[in-house]
Amino acid sequence: MPPSSTDYVRILPEIVLAVWGMAVMFAEPLLGPHTSRKGLGVFAALGCLLALGATVFQAQPAYAGFGFYNMLRVDHFSVFFHCVVILVALSTTLMSLDYLPAHKIDKGEYYALILLGAVGMCLMSSAVELVLIFIALEISSIASYILAGFRRHSAESTESAMKYFLLGSFATAFFLYGVALLFGATGSTNVFRIAEVLNTSAHIEPLAYIAVALIFTGLGFKVACAPFHIWTPDVYEGAPSPVVAFMSTAPKAAAFAVLIRLVIDTASPNWFWVIWVAAVLSMSVGNLGAILQSNIKRMLAYSSIAHAGYLMVAFASASNRELGISAAMFYSAAYAAMNVGAFAVISHMAGSHERFSSIDDYAGLGRRSPALAAALTFFLLSLIGIPITGGFFAKFYVFSAALRTHLIWLTLIGLVNSGMGSYYYLRVIVKMYMNEPRTTAPVPPVRLGVGLAIAISLIATLWLGVWPNAILHYTQGAPTILAGK
Amino acid sequence: MHQFLFIVFAVFCAGGAINLLVQRKTINSALSLIVVMGSLAMIYLLLGAEFVAVVQVIIYAGAIMVLYIFVIMLLNAGDEEASKGSNVAKYFGIPGLFIGGIIGIGVLLKHRPNDTPLKLGALYGPADQVGMLLFTKYLLAFEVTSVLVLIAIMGAVVLARRSDS
Amino acid sequence: MTNSLFQPWLVPALPLAGMAINGLFGKRFSEKLVAAIALIATGCSFLVACLQALLLVNSGSPMLEQHYGTWIQAGKFTVDFGIYLDHLSLIMMLVVTGVGFLIHIYAAAYMHHEGGYYRFFSYLNLFMFFMLVLVLANNYLLMFVGWEGVGLASYLLIGFYFLKDSAANAGKKAFITNRVGDFGFLIALFMMIQTFGSVHYGSLYFNPGLVNALPLEHSTGILTMIGLLMLVGACGKSAQIPLFVWLPDAMEGPTPVSALIHAATMVTAGVYMVARSNPIFSRAPIALLAVAVIGTLTSFFAATIGMTQMDIKRVLAYSTVSQLGYMFMAAGVAAYSAGVFHLMTHAFFKALLFLAAGSVIHGIGGEQDMRKMGGLRKYMPWTFYTMATATVAIAGIPPLAGFWSKDEILWQAWSSPYGSKIFWAVGVITAFMTSFYMFRLLFMTFFGEYRGEAAVAHAGHDAHGGHGHTPHESPWMMLGPLVVLAALSIFGGFVGAGHRFEHFLDPVIQKVEAHRSALEVEAAAAPMTEEPAAEKSTELALMATSVIVALAGLGLAWFLYIKRPELPARIAAALGGLYTLVYNKYWIDELYKAVLISPLLWISTHVLWQSVDQKIIDGSVNDLAVTARDVSGVVRQQQSGLIRSYAGWIAAGAALVVAYMVWMGTR
Amino acid sequence: MTVPISWYLLLSAFLFACGVTGFLTKRNVITLFMSIELMLNGVNLSFIAFATRLQTLDGHIFVFFVMVVAAAEAAVGLAIIIAVYRTRETLNVDRVNLLKL
């Protein structure tokens, strides 16, 4: 029985992204060596918009359900993460339009890689078969490895790519071993079947425990939670800024989706304390590490570890499914919005060869470019968690979920950490508004692409803070239909 | 017979793996990896995985390892440089690995409810059946791998091409 | 009738609009236009507020609640955007808009020719917006939005003179100290959500009210917990022990900011919150006691520090902390209305004091050290008269405003069932000190001979250089608000005479005695009914005591600073160490640095910040004695940049997770 | 003359462990990378062994995909190694530590 047309609708966003990616790839060699690739970027952005449209189309109730021989499943959960990933890809494309020529890496492959990488991330959120999850994970990872090394003449960038690649493959091997053992222990590679076996059979094969542990290791690496966070600062510091915006949010969100489906949602045995410890470690290491950083990208890398920790808090409270999972989903969206925004500003500021990525370079930005400074301030305030930003609401939701599942200590540690975090974000704000500028050189004018990327993130962050209801409802719909319960 | 063949190939396999670790010349490591892969292909045959065994030889030992050796030759990777090792790896990674390994082996040996003794070729997996499965149940995964390969090709081109300036 | 035109939401919305216009386009506007926009916005907001107040009071209903939409809906838990107007928020709203409007007028002249005029006014309007959100919100979460927002605006305004390091640091200090308090508030919010499933005042406190159904907690319980956590939040915002360190430093901001934010409005948010949550506090005597103790201690300590300071704005800052302590003391003895009453009168005279001090600083070219002032009475008479009024008011000399409210607090501290004679005694001593240091300030500034020469050289603070060498009176634009506030300081207290104010707040303040066991009520009620006459005479005696104390403070200040001006230095010398201790603010800042900040930095540097110590670790591998240090050093080595180390971490982490999982699974 | 399934699994675990050890102890980037291949091969053996035990061909399919992924990784990884070599002139991982702390 061949796949029906409904099946194709269920992978419509992926199809659109893949076709657009290939089109960009084919167009690239046709353009002359000195032609600007901006057109390709705009074309790629168009593809993202179309994919977004396809996702919205796919969200109709008629298309919900399993597709392609139970390989994937379209539900609230997958649609939500599709939207996050595609919007991040769109913003990244937009902010790269001027970044690439400025760094003399104006290649069409860049856009193709983002689009094709997004295919993998989208599939990660909808796949319910370990085979497909694994391949999607690899697509997203390999695309990220290449993008991290895209400034291939820079020693930092290639080093970042190499570290990411070697450690990433190392972690993938762990993940894969876990998958193999899970397959052996449960006799299936289908997530729902595995969940059934783990939940109903009287005797769980001990191999399953090792399997879950190894899978957690692999995914923990992808989401950068302690103790598997260690690669993050190095890789983020070396990679091109727009790429960091991309890979600190989209693959992470997708990996969180997999983690929810695979570890939390299958009610894998004994995950609770592992998540608890990982949450505490990530928050503490991230925040403590960030305090003394002088490079803003590195600082945000540590901060992203901390934010992975806050997300883990949401996971830990997933014993109340509706609360925990929807809090985690909301948080990943809010984090994506604010982090992409911050990196959009940073990539605009970076200058050629990313010279200006020290926090000191932001001194006096409040006067050199009030609009940029205001935008960055807003994103940083959101990362701190000040009300009316998405960051506040996300944190609020996560911690109230944690408290409602009686995780009092975790809540306390989290709140203390978020207080500690405010210190280093604030340092940047202080630098921008209250210090003398280091140079008098004017900040390059904000072009349309970066401007749009910032605007999208700004609107998303504000929207999630002021009007979170629509998103909240959507996320709350997800856990009830997840795992078919 | 099965037992004998398994032991022979397992010894080859393990020996190759250990040799990979011991050798200081990169090219020797690569060659011992080929030994590992070849004997693994034999073991797959013992388990009846015909198609996989063939693919193992063609793709792994044939294509991938050739690529490795090509790069080793290209970059003139000779002896391994002796440099200060990493203490973390030495004092945490390796013990951790041993603890993990012991636990794993312990679990394997202690709990083996379905440890059915296998006959030679207990599951027969010929190419046509694998192919059927690949193009029905795993159709989407199969199609998606094309994206993966595309990315890999593009990445290799982007990263390794000579600078145009 | 007017409902269609004058909606309550206009009150916060108008300043927001002013902020938006000035913030977006102000750079191109002239100073006059910027000021006009800001003034119109706040002025109209004040008018609407007055109208709303009239409507509410005339309608006779206890409160007015309006919903403008759902903010969050998560399951059964919902939070609305809404406005809750009752007698308490009405008073706060009038104080904020009224005093805010006056200070805007003053600032329009004061900030003349300062850089960033439009920025200043858009921040100021932003502050007004958040403060009004705080006050008018119909639930705690929305209040928290205002709560954090005022902190942010305050941070921006303190750091307004950003070229000065001290200003930037003061801003940062204020922000971070406030964050500490905010955790308390946030956790209290979470617990409230968990316990009651709602954060709306209406459903929590209004008939029947989720909280009202709960019994009085004689031991610790959930309400005590929530109350104590709220207190932590209130301490941060209202600068109470131990979180008061930020307020004196906040004086780095422009003077109108000190007057508006750090005297009249924002710092009183904590008092407002406690008063708003009175049903919770009244049911949790332990939390209530904590409020009273903290308030009493703060008022006492801040007053002692205030007696020694030489910077005119710092004296006022410590005085503010001390007066806030009074308000907490009042709230802590369950006399919330007395606290709010003092909040109101304090807003009048403290804003006046700051504005007058600003006028002084403005008039002598930016000098803030009182030792370099003196004799200013003849140069700036209007400033003198208004400031003298405010001083008399704050000292608690009848019949000015401060007397009525302070007396009410002291009486309640004595007589309230939650009160104690100790609170009263400390309160009286503090009143004496207050009177002393305020008159000291007045005498040092306005009496004697002018001691400042070429004060322009010291134009460090407030950057008002170039105003000439002789002190001069300020323009009418600045004096106008002073006069209005002086009038309020004189007559504002009468509204509270004869417990009228208390009755006005009756609908808001719940009488929890009703919830006590019948026996206790009888025991408490019996003596009350028997001897009203005795009570009346006690009240009068207490009143007389506080007046005498205030006059004594005045007398001592007069003796030391006018009659025998050489004495203070000798006394200071005689007291030696004690004086130094107090002068240095008990070394609180240093203590904090030693206990909190340094260890954090230390951990950060030595544990996580891998440094030169790599060699030490590598060199001592074989040494068993240092193996222990090695283990801790591994944490340091985390980010060594070596791929294999990173892989080692991953492998070790994986092994740990595997070990744990298997252990749990096969147990 | 039969072989218990656990023997296969033990061999697979041994290969995986050898791979991890290699990753932690070897210094040459290419050897590091080969260690990862060794780990993947170990995993593949597990898949086949489990597939035989469970009498389902799903495991074989999985191995097939793992090989594709390994090939893709090899292409990209070797390209990255070449790029690093061009900027650094070294294949020693311990010298690739510009980014740290």
Query: How far apart, in whole angstroms, are the C-alpha atoms of residue C24 and residue A325?
Result: 40
Residues 6+ apart with CB under 8 A from C45: C10, C11, C12, C14, C15, C97, C101, C128, C132
Q: pLDDT grade, residue C514 (50/70/90)?
A: very low
Computed over its alpha carbons, how large is the radius of gyration of chain B?
A: 20
pLDDT score, position C577: 63
pLDDT of residue A248: 93
Contact residues on chain D for B47, CB-CB shorter than 8 A: 8, 48-49, 51-52
The structure tokens listed for A224 are: 């950068």
User: What domains lie within chain B, and their CATH numbers?
Assistant: 2-77+86-124 (1.20.120.1200)
Nearest to C335 by CA among C402, C416, C274, C452: C416
Contact across the interface for D76 and A142, Cβ inside 8 Å: yes
Average of per-residue pLDDT across C156-167: 72
Q: Where are the domains of chain A?
A: 5-482
Beta-bridge partner residues of C64: C85
Q: Mean pLDDT, chain A, as a whole number?
A: 88
Task: Provide the CATH number for the domain around residue D37.
Answer: 1.10.287.3510
Please tell me the distance from the alpha carbon of residue A37 to that of residue B67, in angstroms, as a whole number: 32
In a domain, D95, yes or no: no
Between C468 and A311, the more confident residue is A311
Q: Which residue has the higher pLDDT, C129 or A288?
A: C129
**Mean pLDDT across C132-138:** 91
Question: Is residue A179 over pLDDT 70?
Answer: yes
When computed from its CA atoms, the radius of gyration of chain A, rounded to whole angstroms, is 21
Q: Which domain holds residue D63?
A: 27-88
The Cα–Cα gap between D48 and D35 comes to: 20
Q: Is B28 on the interface with C (CB under 8 A)?
A: no
Among C70, C78, C145, C661, most A C-beta atoms within 10 A, so best to mutate, is C661
Quick check: C645 and B88 CB within 8 A?
Answer: yes
Cβ-defined contact of B33 to D92 (cutoff 8 Å) = no
So what's the pLDDT on residue C447?
Answer: 80
Least confident of A17-31, A197-211, A296-310: A197-211
At B119, phi and psi to the nearest 5? Answer: -90, 170
Higher pLDDT, C531 or A390: A390
Q: Is the ipTM of this complex over 0.90?
A: yes
Residue entry with tokens 């019996």: C526
Q: Using one digit for the tens of pLDDT, what is the confidence trace for C226-267?
A: 899 999 999 888 888 777 778 887 887 888 888 888 888 888
Which of C131, C77, C84 is CA-nearest to residue C104? C131
Range among C173-177, C491-495, D68-72 rated most confident:
D68-72
Q: Is the dihedral of CA C86, C92, C95, C98 positive or negative?
A: negative
Residue segments in chain B with a per-residue pLDDT below the cut of 50? 165
Nearest chain C Cα to D24, which residue? C644
| Chain A: closest CA distance from residue C150 (Å) | 11
Eight-state DSSP code of residue B162: P
pLDDT at C522: 47
* C342-399 confidence digits (pLDDT tens): 999 999 989 999 999 888 888 887 778 877 777 788 888 888 888 889 998 888 887 7
> 């209005």: which residue's tokens?
C484
Q: How far is A74 from chain C (nearest CA, A)?
A: 23
HEC string of C581-598 equals HHHCHHHHHHHHHHHHHH
pLDDT digits (tens, 9 = 90+) for A317-349: 887 777 888 899 999 999 999 999 999 999 998
Q: State pLDDT tens for residues C279-291.
A: 888 888 888 889 9
Over residues C528-551, the mean pLDDT reads 74
The one-letter code for the residue type at A58 is Q
Q: Pick from A340, A318, A342: which is nearest to A328 by CA?
A: A318
pLDDT at C16 over 80: yes
Four-point Cα dihedral C232, C234, C236, C240, nearest 10: -90
Structure tokens given for C270? 């904590």
Distance CA A185, CA A198 (A): 9
The residue among B120, B131, B122 whose CA lies nearest residue B52 is B131
Lowest mean pLDDT among A240-249, C19-28, C313-322: C19-28
CA D8 → CA B30, B52, B120, C218, distances in Å? 23, 16, 13, 68
Measured distance CA(C488)–CA(C477) in Å, rounded: 18
Provide the Cα torsion A301, A306, A309, A310; round to 10°: -120
Residue among D14, D31, D74 minimizing CB distance to B14:
D14
pLDDT digits (tens, 9 = 90+) for A90-132: 999 999 998 988 888 888 899 999 999 999 999 999 999 999 9
Residues A375-392: what's their mean pLDDT?
91
Is A208's Cβ below 8 Å from some Cβ in C? yes
Query: Please, which pLDDT band fits residue C130 given cuts at 50, 70 and 90?
Result: very high
B117, β-bridge pairs? D4
Contact D55/A at CB under 8 A: no
Contact yes or no for C649 and B85 at CB 8 A: no
What letter would DSSP give residue A447?
Answer: P
Neighbours of chain C (3+ CB pairs under 8 A): A, B, D
Q: Write down the pLDDT at residue C613.
A: 31
pLDDT band, very low/low/confident/very high, at C170 (cuts 50, 70, 90): confident
Chains linked to D by 3 or more Cβ pairs within 8 Å:
A, B, C
Q: Which of A169, A151, A304 is nearest to C646 (CA)?
A: A169
Domain membership of residue D16 (yes or no) is no
**CB within 8 Å of C39: residues ≥ 6 apart:** C101, C104, C105, C108
Q: Which residue has the higher pLDDT, C57 or D48?
A: D48
Question: Is B139 an interface residue toward C (CB < 8 Å)?
Answer: no
In C364-475, alpha helices (H): 381-395, 401-415, 421-446
pLDDT per residue as tens, chain D (101 positions): 578 888 888 899 999 999 999 998 888 889 999 999 999 999 999 999 998 888 888 899 999 999 999 999 999 999 999 888 888 887 887 777 777 65
Answer yes or no: is D33 within a domain.
Answer: yes
Number of domains in chain D: 1
| Mean pLDDT, rounded, for C328-337 | 88
Amino acid (one-letter) located at A277 = V
- Give A344 or C206, the one with higher predicted confidence: A344
Q: Which residues contact B75 (CB under 8 A, 6 or more apart)?
A: D30, D81, D82, D85, D91
pLDDT of residue C471: 76
Q: Where are the alpha helices (DSSP H) in C285-400?
A: 285-306, 312-332, 336-363, 381-395
- Asked whether the predicted pLDDT for residue C600 surpasses 50, the reply is no
CA-based nearest residue to A351, from A154, A92, A98: A98
Q: Which of A116, A136, A210 sits opposite B104 (nearest CB)?
A: A210
Q: What per-residue confidence (pLDDT) applies to C580? A: 67
The nearest CA of chain C is from the CA of A322 a distance in Å of 9
Residue in A171, A204, A214 nearest the CB of C658: A214
Per-residue pLDDT at C465: 43
For residue A267, report the phi and psi dihedrals to the nearest 5 degrees: 50, 45
Q: Report the C-alpha gap between C275 and C344 in whole angstroms.
A: 13
Per-residue pLDDT band for A146 (boundaries 50, 70, 90) equals very high
The residue to which tokens 């500690």 are assigned? A420
H or E stretch covering A66: strand A65-67
How would residue A49 be classed by pLDDT, with cut points 50, 70 and 90? very high
Residue C606 has pLDDT above 60, yes or no: no
User: In which region does residue A369 sit, left (phi positive, over 0), alpha (psi from -120 to 50) or beta (all else)?
Assistant: beta
In order of A133, A150, C172, the CA distances from A100 in angstroms are 31, 10, 37
A33 in reach of chain B (CB within 8 A): yes
DSSP codes of every residue in A347-384: HHH--GGG---BGGGGTTHHHH-HHHHHHHHHHHHHHH
A385 neighbors A416 (Cβ within 8 angstroms):
no
Q: What percent of chain C has pLDDT over 70?
A: 79
Least confident of A408-412, C25-29, C235-239, C605-609: C605-609
E-strand ranges in C17-117 read 63-74, 77-86
Q: Which residues in chain B are contacts of C666 at CB distance < 8 A?
A: 107, 111
Residue B80: strand, helix, or coil: coil
Cβ of C639 and D93 within 8 Å? no
What is the average per-residue pLDDT within A407-419?
Answer: 86
C361 near C458, Cβ under 8 Å?
no
Q: What's the pLDDT band for C518 if we cut at 50, 70, 90?
A: very low
Q: So what's the pLDDT on residue C607?
A: 37
Does residue C116 carry a pLDDT above 50?
yes
